Amino acid sequence: MAKMNLLQAINSALISSMEQDERVMVFGEDVGHFGGVFRATSNLQEKFGKGRCFNTPLTEQGIIGFANGLAAQGSVPIAEIQFGDYIFPAFDQIVNETAKWRYRSGGQFSCGTLTIRTPYGGGIAGGHYHSQSPEAFFAHIPGMKVVIPRNPYQAKGLLLSSVRDDNPVLFMEPKKIYRASVGEVPETDYELLLGKADVVKEGTDITLLAWGAQVEVVEKAAMMAEKDSISCEIIDLQSILPWDVETVCESVYKTNRLLINHEAPLTGGFASEIAATIQQECFLYLEAPIARVCGLDTPYPLAHEKEYMPDHLKTYEAIKRTLDY
Amino acid sequence: MQNKSNKLPQERNHLSGVEINHKVNLIENGLIDIPMLQLLDEHGKETNPKATPDIAEGLANKILTSMEYTRLLDERMIGSQRQGRISFYLACKGEEAAIVGSAAALSDDDMIMSQYREQGALVFRGYKTEQFMNQMFSNQLDPNKGRQMPIHYGDKALNFMTISSPLGTQIPQASGYAYGQKMAGKEAITICYFGEGAASEGDFHAGLNMAAVLNCPAIFFCRNNGYAISTPTEEQFAGDGIASRGIGYGVRTIRVDGNDVLAVFAATKLAREIALKEACPVLIEAMTYRLAAHSTSDDPSGYRSKDEEAKWQQKDPIERFKKWLDGKKWLNEPALEAYKSNAREEILAALKKAEQVPVNPLEDIIEDVYDTPPWHLKKQLSELQQHVAKYPQHYPKTSGR
Ligand SMILES: Cc1ncc(C[n+]2csc(CCOP(=O)(O)OP(=O)(O)O)c2C)c(N)n1
Ligand SMILES: [Mg+2]
C-alpha cells in the first residue's frame, strides 16, 4: 500500500497496464514528455518510449478517430481528452463509431479495447467550459460503458478494469478532487468490477446515490442528517452505464427512500433514468417521491458557481423534505 | 504536356488545368517555398524601405503604447493571479506586434473573432482598463455578466466577439460572419485569430474550405508561436507551418515575421483590401513566440529551455519597433515612461476598484439561457432563492443583495 492522490493512482494504473500488456498505448494533447496538463501521464514516455506514450496534434476528433482505428487493429489505446468540455469535437467518432463498430460488423471488428480518459466536473472556478459533467450524453449511447471513480483506490482498480474490459469505456475523472482526494492504494495490480455500485456507508432511513466528487458532498449532508437522527445509506454508483440496478434496489427495499445527486443539469440528467427505473422496480416500497438534487438547467456559471452546485446543504434539505413527506 | 486547351467543360474544378506527366513522381513537402515577410530586421532597420508601409507618427505611437499597455496589463494580472485575486490569466507577451500590428490595419467596423491571447487588439480598439478589470473579476459590470473565466472578453460596441474556450470554433464561425457581412453589403470584414495548435482542429479545415468556396471576406490570422501548451510545432504538424494549408484550400496566403509590426501591418492591410475588393479569404501566418507561460496554470520549464526563451527575448517585438521609431526620431523616451507609469497606476487603481464590485444578483443565474427564462428555470430560481435565504452565510456573494 502507498498513499496516493487520485492523479497518482491513475498514473499507477497506467503504468501497471502498460507493463502488463505491450499493446497498451497512451496518447492525447500534452500527455507525452510533459505528462499531461494535470500530470496524470507523468513519466510514461520516459518509461515506455515515444511509440507508446505520445502527444497528438490538437484535435479531439482526430484523437478518438485514431484511437478507434488503433483499437480495431487490436492495440489497446488509452486516449486522453484534456477536459470533458472538449470531448464534443469527438462526439461523432464516439457515438457513431466507437460504440457501433462491433454492432455494425456483426462482431467481426470492434473498439472494445479502447478507453477514453477525461477529467470532468466543477468546483474549480472554471466557468462553463472547464466544469461540465457530460456523463448523461454518453449514457445514451448503446455500446459504451461509462465509469466514474470517487477516490484513488477506486480510480486505480476501475481504470485497470476499464482498460481490460472488452468494451469501449469512457472513464471520467472528477478533477476537483484530483489532488485533494488521498488514500491508501495497493502498488500491485488489481481490478474492481465494472457495472457494480459501492455501498460506502450503510443506513436505514434513506439511500443517497451519487458518483465522483459528489459522493463527498452527500457524505457531508448525511453527517448533518445524522444529527437529526436520520440514518443515511450512501451508494457510489461508479458505473453509469451499465449501472447496478440491483444494489440500488436492495438499498431502497430497506430504506424506502431515494435521493440522487449529480452536478450535471437536472433535465435529462442520469438521475432521471435512475428514478424511472427505481419507481418501476420499487414502486410499492417507496414512501416518498425520489428526490433529485442536481445542477440547474443552465450552463455552468462562474460567479454563481457556489449557488449552482448541488451542495451538501441542498442535499440535506432534500433529505429532510423526503423524510417529512 | 499541357492538357488545358482540350479540357472538357464538365471537368471544371475536377480536372481543369491539371497537367499530365508520365513519370511516377511523389510531390514532397518543400516543393513550394513559403518565405516570411520581414520589413524590420531584428535591429529595427528597414529591410526594404520601398516596402515600408505608410504609417503616420500618431498611428505609430498608438501601436507602441497599445503594445506597452498590453505588456503592463499582463505583468500586473499575472501578479494578481499569484496573489489569489483572480483565478486565471493568460499573457500575450512576445506576440504584441502580431496582434496590435494586425488590429491597427483594420477598420473599426471589422469584426474581431479571437482565440484568447489577443487582448492587444482590444487595447488598440480602445477597451478601457476598467472594462478589462470588470471582466477579470467577473463582477456585475462585466457585460458577459461574470459568466466566463478571466480573459474571455467580449464587447459588442467594439466589434469584438465574446471569446469561447473550445479551440477553433471561431474559425468556421468567422467564415459565416464574413459571409453575412458581404450579403448585408457592409464595408467590413472579419478577422479570425487562432494559434497554430488550434489549427489542428477539424474546425480549421472546415472553416478555411468554406470561406474559400463561399467567397467570404475574412482574414484568418494564425499566431504560430511555437507551442500549444507543452506541445512544440514539430509534434503538431509535419507540413510547412499553417501557410501551406491555405494554398491547399485555394486561399491567398502570406507568412510574416510576427515580431515585426511593420510586416504584420502591411500584410494585414493588403489582406483586408483584397478580402473586401474580391470577396475572398486571406490566410496570414505570423511567426512569433510565446515568451510567457501558456497561462498562469502552466510552467514552461517542463518543456522548453531557458536558452530558447533567451533567444526569442532578443527578438522582442516592442524593442524592435522602438528602435525603428527612434530612427525616425519619433520615440520620446520620457513621454513613454510617463505613459507607462501612468498606465501602471491606472491598472492598479482599476483593479482595486473592480475587485470590490459585487457579482451579478442571483436572478441573473437563469438569464440569457433563452431569450426569456421558461417556466422550469423560473421554478428552479425560486427554489434557489428560498434556499439561499435559509443559508445566507454559505452564499455570501449573492445572499446580501
Ligand atoms: C477543443 C479544445 N481542446 C483543448 C483545449 C485546451 N487548450 C487550451 S489552450 C490549448 C493550446 C492552444 O495552443 P495554440 O492554439 O497554439 O494557442 P497558443 O496558446 O499557443 O496561443 C489547449 C490544448 C481547448 N481549450 N479546447
Ligand atoms: Mg501556439
Q: Which atom in ligand 1 lies closest to the alpha carbon of residue A129?
A: 25
Other C-beta atoms within 10 Å of A244: how many? 18
Beta carbons of B230 and A55 less than 8 Å apart: yes
Mean pLDDT, residues B308-319 taken together = 97
Beta carbons of B229 and A34 less than 8 Å apart: yes
Residue B5: pLDDT band with limits 50, 70, 90: very low
Task: Give domain status of residue B38, yes or no.
Answer: no
B53 with B111, same domain: the answer is: yes
Please work out whether the CB of residue A58 comes within 6 Å of at least one atom of ligand 1: yes
Q: Is the pLDDT of residue B130 over 90?
A: yes
Q: Is the pLDDT of residue B31 over 90?
A: no
Q: Is the pLDDT of residue B3 over 50?
A: no
Q: Is A298 on the interface with B (CB under 8 A)?
A: yes
B268-287, pLDDT tens digit by residue?
999 999 999 999 999 999 99
Indicate the SS3 state at residue B157.
Answer: coil
B181-195, pLDDT tens digit by residue?
999 999 999 999 999
Q: How far is the CA of B227 from the centre of ligand 2 (A)?
A: 4
Please work out whether the CB of residue A88 comes within 6 Å of at least one atom of ligand 1: no
Among B115, B224, B229, B230, the mutation site with the greatest number of ligand 1 atoms within 8 A of its Cβ is B229
Chain A residue with the nearest C-alpha to that of B303: A34
Which pLDDT score, from 0 to 100, does residue B19 have?
81
B115 with B242, same domain: the answer is: yes
Q: Which residue range forms the structural domain that includes residue B379?
A: 362-394
Instruction: For chain A, list residues with pLDDT below 70.
Output: none
* Measured CA angle at B365 (ends B359, B369), to 5 deg: 130
Residues B210 and B107: their CA atoms lie apart, in Å, by 24
B381 with B281, same domain: the answer is: no
B196 with B113, same domain: the answer is: yes
Decide if A60 is catalytic: yes
Task: Give domain status of residue B23, yes or no.
Answer: no
Please check whether residue A42 is in contact with residue A36, taking contact to mean a CB–CB distance below 8 angstroms: yes
Which pLDDT score, from 0 to 100, does residue B30 have?
65
A61-91, pLDDT tens digit by residue?
999 999 999 999 999 999 999 999 999 999 9
Mean of the per-residue pLDDT values for chain B?
Answer: 95
Task: Give domain status of residue B150, yes or no.
Answer: yes
Q: Is the pLDDT of residue B365 over 90?
A: yes
Task: Give domain status of residue B339, yes or no.
Answer: yes
Beta carbons of B228 and A29 less than 8 Å apart: yes
Which pLDDT score, from 0 to 100, does residue B304 have?
97
Residues A72 and B112: their CA atoms lie apart, in Å, by 43
Please work out whether the CB of residue B283 comes within 6 Å of at least one atom of ligand 1: no
Beta carbons of B398 and A307 less than 8 Å apart: yes
Pick the ligand that lies closest to the CA of residue A57.
1
Residues B376 and A309: their CA atoms lie apart, in Å, by 17
Beta carbons of B365 and A307 less than 8 Å apart: yes
Please check whether residue B100 is in contact with residue B121, taking contact to mean a CB–CB distance below 8 angstroms: yes
Facing B166 at nearest CB: one of A86, A302, A313:
A86
Please work out whether the CB of residue B193 comes within 6 Å of at least one atom of ligand 1: no
Helix intervals (H) in A165-236: 214-227
Which pLDDT score, from 0 to 100, does residue B1 have?
36
DSSP string, B42-96: TTS-BS-GGGS----HHHHHHHHHHHHHHHHHHHHHHHHHHTTSSS-----TT-H
Catalytic residue among A130, A173, A216, A262: A130
Residues A107 and A96: their CA atoms lie apart, in Å, by 15
From chain B, the residues in CB contact with A86 under 8 A are 166-167
Task: Give domain status of residue B141, yes or no.
Answer: yes
Among A46, A93, A179, A302, which would you mutate to test the B interface (most chain B Cβ atoms within 10 Å of its Cβ)?
A302
B147 with B179, same domain: the answer is: yes
Q: Is the pLDDT of residue B18 over 90?
A: no
C-alpha cell at A69: 482505428
B384 with B235, same domain: the answer is: no
B380 with B259, same domain: the answer is: no
Indicate the SS3 state at residue A260.
Answer: strand
C-alpha cell at B57: 507618427
The residues with which B335 forms a beta bridge, in sequence order, are none
Pick the ligand that lies closest to the CA of residue B193.
1
Please work out whether the CB of residue B197 comes within 6 Å of at least one atom of ligand 1: yes
Q: How far is the CA of B204 from the centre of ligand 1 (A)?
A: 13
Q: How far is the CA of B286 from the centre of ligand 2 (A)?
A: 11
Indicate the SS3 state at residue A269.
Answer: coil
State how far residue A120 is from chain B, nearest Cα, in angstroms. Answer: 15
C-alpha cell at A126: 472554471
Which pLDDT score, from 0 to 100, does residue B7 have?
46
B284 with B308, same domain: the answer is: yes
Task: Give domain status of residue B32, yes or no.
Answer: no
Query: CATH no. for residue B258?
Result: 3.40.50.970
Q: Which atom in ligand 1 lies closest to the alpha carbon of residue B201?
A: 1
How deeply is B52 buried, as exposed, middle or buried, from its count of CB atoms within 10 A (0-12, 13-18, 19+)? middle
B341 with B380, same domain: the answer is: no
Count of the separate structural domains present in chain B: 2
Residues B338 and B346: their CA atoms lie apart, in Å, by 12
What is the separation, in whole angstroms, between the first and last Cα of chain B?
79
Q: How far is the CA of A201 from the centre of ligand 1 (A)?
A: 41
B41-78, pLDDT tens digit by residue?
999 999 999 999 999 999 999 999 999 999 999 999 99
Residue B21: pLDDT band with limits 50, 70, 90: confident
Beta carbons of A29 and B394 less than 8 Å apart: no
Which pLDDT score, from 0 to 100, does residue B12 have?
61
Delineate the domains of chain A, giving CATH numbers in brackets. Answer: 2-185 (3.40.50.970), 198-324 (3.40.50.920)
B152-168, pLDDT tens digit by residue?
999 999 999 999 999 99
Nearest to B322 by CA among B47, B92, B63, B124: B63
Beta carbons of B397 and A85 less than 8 Å apart: no
From chain B, the residues in CB contact with A298 under 8 A are 365-366, 369, 377
Catalytic residue among B43, B82, B303, B401: B303
Beta carbons of B139 and A301 less than 8 Å apart: no
B163 with B70, same domain: the answer is: yes
Beta carbons of A33 and B230 less than 8 Å apart: yes
Task: Give domain status of residue B313, yes or no.
Answer: yes
Q: Which residue has the cell 460506502?
A: A200
Q: Is the pLDDT of residue B4 over 60?
A: no
Please work out whether the CB of residue B290 comes within 6 Å of at least one atom of ligand 1: yes
Chain A residue with the nearest C-alpha to that of B238: A57
From chain B, the residues in CB contact with A30 under 8 A are 228-231
Decide if B290 is catalytic: yes
B78 with B163, same domain: the answer is: yes
Facing A130 at nearest CB: one of B149, B298, B365:
B149
B143 with B200, same domain: the answer is: yes
State how far residue B209 is from chain A, nearest Cα, in angstroms. Answer: 17
Task: Give domain status of residue B279, yes or no.
Answer: yes
Please work out whether the CB of residue B214 comes within 6 Å of at least one atom of ligand 1: no
Please work out whether the CB of residue B167 comes within 6 Å of at least one atom of ligand 1: yes
Please work out whether the CB of residue B226 comes within 6 Å of at least one atom of ligand 1: no
Model pTM greater than 0.90? yes
From chain B, the residues in CB contact with A60 under 8 A are 201
State how far residue B334 is from chain A, nearest Cα, in angstroms. Answer: 41
- Greater confidence (A137 vs B25) lies with A137
Indicate whether this complex's ipTM tops 0.90.
yes
